[in-house]
Chain A
Amino acid sequence: MTGGQAVTTRRRLVGVLGVMALLFSACSSGATSSIAPSAAPSVAASAAASAAAPSGAASPSASAASAAVTITWWHNANQDPGMSFWKKVADEYTAAHPNVTIQITPTQNEDFKTKLPLALNSGTPPNIFQSWGGGGLKQQVDAGKVQDLTAATASWTSTIIPAALSPYQLNGKQYGIPYDLGLVGFWYNKALFTAAGITAAPATWDDFIADVAKLKTAGTAPIAVGEKDTWTGAFWWEYLALRECGKDKMATAVNTNSFTDPCFVKAGTDLKQLIDAKPFQTGFLASPAQTGATSATSLLANGKAAMELQGHWEPSVMGPLTPDGKGLGDKLGWFPFPAVTGGTGTVTEDIGGYNGFAVSKDAPPEAVDFLHYLTSVDVLSRWGAAGYGLPTTTGSETSITDPNLKELIAQRAKATFVQLYLDQAFSQAVGAAINEAVAGEFAGQLSPAEVQQAIQTATTK
């Protein structure tokens, strides 16, 4: 070979090796987070390692107490003031337990549906994560991703309202801890109602339809619904179904996956009556529920719509959507879903939901201890006093000062039956299909009978 060719070959070789080195380093740094599942209890391993330190204490409990523990926590209060409140609670706990660090990841409610399954399947699932109980939790439990808390919480679950604990129980074991149980109802703008000549909350569905007509005449959008997020429209169908069918038929339908009773078609017919009256804001099919200035909740908060059928979190979501952070202030009122004449159900039956946390399989015991602190009367009383929801620890309900939430607590106290929102009562897949079926009716694509058919098909698949 000539000298020139040798130089060229050397250069080529160096070039190739350089490129390979770069690529392999990029590969390996990227691979650890996604491909290889990491070894399970790394926290326990580090605890054992630090316990073996020569200056450490002898007994296991003392060494566990002094070992550094990190807890990862995914919750859905991704906006202030709720986000800051949870951070404060975490800081209080870590101040009392200096060896514990809590890493918080506030995640938007809708994102849990896509992010949580992936995280649970990975090698590093969050230790504490948002849970709504019911079918969604059951799927996670069946897959072995959730820790059985029965033993760890036996000493203090009695402080929680029994009605709130049941959706987090499976086969007699406790798999999650609730902190919030609320009801879905109508949040409305008192000023707009008065201006339209409505003096009292509607007692029956026919009164309600009449009130909607009055609001339209007065020039306001009567109802805000964020049907881009299809769970909001589903509330309407679920309440009408509960009113038409009554609690026994509803409970049976949910437990036996059988929505064949004609009362479920009647619910769709009542809903069609409302949809045909065109009571919603312009472009409601594309409006998000809670995110951004054009969402349904924002319209209500800024006086552009008269009412919204929503859960008990509504005041805390409305606040950040207004410039002064105060939402509708004292113009905000609440009334329960009216009775439906001819239906089997009564007004003491509600659609409601729970908020709670579940713990992943290999999370450290400090995670459960933190939940014990979070659900203490002190913490939840402060939480309730700030108006974030309806706490479920006995003794904390009296902290509620917000007049609307007080009405909700009163309604909850006299409720004879609370049906968990159907998209939580069933698995995520079935829930999404139920919401989609109702969205079909809102979009004018499915008839009441077709909605019932689609829901029946979804729950029996």
Chain B
Amino acid sequence: MASNSAATDRLAAGVRQDDGSAGRRRSLRQSAEIALFLLPALLLFIVFVLIPLVEAVYYSGFKWNGLEPLTNWIGLGNYQRALDDQFFTGAIAHNVFLLVLSLGVQQPIALALALALSRGFRGRTFMRLVFFTPYVISEATIGVIWLLVLQPSGPLDQILGAVGLGQFIQLWLADRSLVMTTLFVVISWQYFGFSMILYLAGLTQIPTELREAAAIDGANGAQALRHITLPLLGPTIRVAVFLSAIGSLQVFGLVFIMTSGGPFHASDTMVTWMIEQGLTRTALGYGAAMAVILGAIGLVFSLLYQRFVLRRDIEGSVTSFAG
């Protein structure tokens, strides 16, 4: 780009001149540019993310029903209540369950599909469209549709019976030991398309010369996959895993519509229980405390993940400011 080469020229010129004042003027103006570009996003972030976060932390110290004045300070009482609450710890367990299944089942399937769809064949674009479509349909619509499909003697049960798989019919949403798995399937059905598209994009960045070279050297498909494709797909996989994990922690819409966290807390997630307590049961301080705990879990996970897993991927890109 024109500006890049101009910048490099200036840098080269600056290094040769070794003129401190030109350097400072440069970085001041460029700092101002950065600030100006960042300002809108920063403002949005402050108003819609930071301020509510601070407010949530503030409210979480009160016993408050949302209508009365904010006078009943209880300090860490709501947090203690959350830790003692078997339904909240159960909800955390459900989120972890979804996280583990997402990483162990959903991501490999998305990757496998992406690999299959990266070869050219007729109807490939159509197949990609079909797999990606659930992602663009609203969660509410999908929840309502699947709720109808999964009813006892509903469409799913009828199909199973018609193809002779009748003995596999279960109470998909009413069986407390099965409901979380059922919800995982629906959630995956909606979101695997997104991971698949990420992997497809990642695959297009692998130079074909590498695969051709491997083929010349006599590597078969599996060896090429293991030694070339997967390692080069590494950054994409790490990002997709990260997004999937964060998404698992925040699951709300589908669960709320399909089961409201039931039967009797068998499918509660942190957010559904938080909404139930905070809004329906008007314990807003308690709900805020749970929200802060969820935020903290997400934050710790993100920081640890970026520090240990993503470090290799972002290291090379953070250069000293070269103008």
| Chain A residues with a Cβ under 8 A of chain B | 2, 4-5, 8, 12, 16, 19-20, 23-24, 27, 113-114, 117-118, 120-121, 139-140, 142-143, 145, 227-228, 230, 281-287, 292-294, 427-429, 432-433, 436, 439-440, 442-443, 445
In the assembled complex, which residues on chain B have CB atoms less than 8 Å from the CB atom of A287? Answer: 174
Say yes or no: B279 contacts A118, CB within 8 Å.
Answer: yes
Known: A16-B36, A20-B40, A143-B67. A282 touches B171 (CB 8 A): yes
B3 located at the interface, meaning its Cβ lies under 8 Å from any Cβ of chain A in the complex: yes
Encode contact with A along B246-276: 1 for CB under 8 Å, 0 otherwise.
Answer: 0000000000000110111010000000011
The interface on chain B, measured as residues whose beta carbon lies within 8 A of the other chain's beta carbons, has a size of 39
Say yes or no: B280 contacts A284, CB within 8 Å.
Answer: no
Say yes or no: B263 contacts A439, CB within 8 Å.
Answer: yes
Known: A118-B279, A294-B148, A427-B282. A8 touches B2 (CB 8 A): yes
Say yes or no: A283 contacts B151, CB within 8 Å.
Answer: yes
Known: A12-B33, A429-B283, A443-B263. A4 touches B40 (CB 8 A): no
- In the complex, besides A282-B174, A286-B179, A294-B154, 4 extra interface pairs with C-beta distance below 8 angstroms are A139-B282, A293-B148, A294-B151, A445-B264
B209 located at the interface, meaning its Cβ lies under 8 Å from any Cβ of chain A in the complex: no
Say yes or no: B176 contacts A443, CB within 8 Å.
Answer: yes
Say yes or no: B66 contacts A121, CB within 8 Å.
Answer: yes
Known: A19-B40, A121-B66, A282-B153. A432 touches B281 (CB 8 A): yes
Q: Which of B146-205 contact A (CB under 8 A)?
A: 147-148, 151-154, 171, 173-174, 176, 179
User: Smallest Cβ distance from B106 to chain A, in angstroms?
Assistant: 24
In the assembled complex, which residues on chain A have CB atoms less than 8 Å from the CB atom of B275? Answer: 114
Say yes or no: A436 contacts B44, CB within 8 Å.
Answer: no
Whole-angstrom CA separation of A376 from B152 in the bound complex? 45
Say yes or no: A117 contacts B283, CB within 8 Å.
Answer: no
Known: A286-B173, A294-B154. A120 touches B40 (CB 8 A): no
Whole-angstrom CA separation of A284 from B151 in the bound complex? 10
Say yes or no: A283 contacts B66, CB within 8 Å.
Answer: no
Instruction: Across the A-B interface, give the 6 residue pairs with the lowest CB-CB distance, nearest first.
Output: A143-B67, A285-B263, A283-B174, A443-B264, A429-B281, A286-B174
Q: How many A-B residue pairs have CB under 8 A?
A: 108
Whole-angstrom CA separation of A142 from B282 in the bound complex? 14
In the assembled complex, which residues on chain A have CB atoms less than 8 Å from the CB atom of B264? Answer: 285, 436, 439-440, 442-443, 445
Chain B residue with the shortest CB-CB distance to A294: B151
Known: A121-B67, A142-B68, A286-B171. A228 touches B262 (CB 8 A): yes
Whole-angstrom CA separation of A432 from B282 in the bound complex? 10
B37 located at the interface, meaning its Cβ lies under 8 Å from any Cβ of chain A in the complex: yes
Chain A residue with the shortest CB-CB distance to B267: A286
In the assembled complex, which residues on chain A have CB atoms less than 8 Å from the CB atom of B67? Answer: 117, 120-121, 139-140, 142-143, 145
User: Smallest Cβ distance from B149 to chain A, in angstroms?
Assistant: 11
Whole-angstrom CA separation of A330 from B157 in the bound complex? 33
Whole-angstrom CA separation of A433 from B179 in the bound complex? 22
B22 located at the interface, meaning its Cβ lies under 8 Å from any Cβ of chain A in the complex: no
User: Smallest Cβ distance from A115 to chain B, in angstroms?
Assistant: 9
B306 located at the interface, meaning its Cβ lies under 8 Å from any Cβ of chain A in the complex: no
Q: Which of A24, A140, A285, A445 has the most CB of B within 10 A?
A: A285
Residue from the list A16, A230, A429, A436 in contact with B282, Cβ < 8 A: A429
B6 located at the interface, meaning its Cβ lies under 8 Å from any Cβ of chain A in the complex: yes
B39 located at the interface, meaning its Cβ lies under 8 Å from any Cβ of chain A in the complex: yes
Q: Which of B18-68 contact A (CB under 8 A)?
A: 33, 36-37, 39-40, 43-44, 47, 65-68
Whole-angstrom CA separation of A140 from B282 in the bound complex? 11
User: Smallest Cβ distance from A301 to chain B, in angstroms?
Assistant: 16
User: Smallest Cβ distance from B56 to chain A, in angstroms?
Assistant: 15
Say yes or no: A8 contacts B44, CB within 8 Å.
Answer: no
